[in-house]
Amino acid sequence: MSKKMFAVPLLIAGITVGGIAGVMASSVFAASPNTNQNSNWGNMMGGAFGGNGSTGNGFAGMMGGSGSSFMSSVINRVFSNVPKMSAAAATQAAQTALNQANASIDKTNNSITYSGQDVNIVALAGPTGADQKFVIDGLVNPTLHIQKGAKVSLQLINEDKGMPHGIEITSAKPPFAYMSMMQGGIYGGSFIHPIPAATKAGDPTLTTTFTASQAGTFTYLCQYPGHAQQGMYGNIVIS
């Protein structure tokens, strides 16, 4: 990343952010609402923060102070076309997932075992009482057990009015750095970029599907900077 500082006339705030100028100009705001949103996220993260390695050179400055709210503002704007659902519909979706015949919920071990090859997971991000956490089938950051080869539908609903959240399945293990995972996902499709914070208009939601083709113990986490580090993750066991 260039170490030069660019004065960027941002739509959101008239602040100066090092190195992000090119990204803001090209890959992010230029993207049409119908282009691949994960690609937008990848471009944003790759373009803005790529090459920083573990030092986070440049990124740290951006994320410090007003940076975090800046990041949040960018996501809220860039992904403003993400569909929203009402709080009641979100509750209904979660309840439907909870009532799946093939989901066996073990509160003692904070785990859910899905039998069969069709799995429907509804992950609530940051609902009331579980700030910076996922709630799935009423459990906070549960361990998910899924059969190898199962077709998984993963719906993320952001109920957090203060913060974007995303979800991704990765082979990375805790502890997580501030910058955990930016793009990818262990399976094709096992990634939903951070979606905007909830508003009075509703809770943003996206669904992805993937095939759990590889056995192993993986992690699902929120790739918004700092969230996995703060504990927004759980295990997912494919066997």
Where on the chain is the footprint of Cu ion (CB under 5 A)? Answer: 165, 222, 224, 227, 232
Distance of alpha carbon 38 from the chain centroid: 10
Tokens of 8: 């960027």
Closer to Cu ion by CB, 21 or 123: give it. 123
Closer to Cu ion by CB, 134 or 210: give it. 134
H or E element, residue 168 = strand 165-170
Closer to Cu ion by CB, 162 or 216: give it. 162
186-190 contact pairs (CB < 8 A, 24+): 186/214, 186/218, 187/211, 187/212, 187/213, 187/214, 190/152, 190/154
Question: Is omega for the bond preceding 164 within 30 degrees of 0, making it cis?
Answer: no
Q: Nearest to Cu ion by Cβ — which residue?
A: 222
Q: Nearest approach, Cβ of 154 to Cu ion (angstroms)? A: 15
Closer to Cu ion by CB, 103 or 222: give it. 222
Q: Nearest approach, Cβ of 8 to Cu ion (angstroms)? A: 25
Q: Nearest approach, Cβ of 140 to Cu ion (angstroms)? A: 14
Q: Nearest approach, Cβ of 209 to Cu ion (angstroms)? A: 21
Tokens of 85: 């659902």
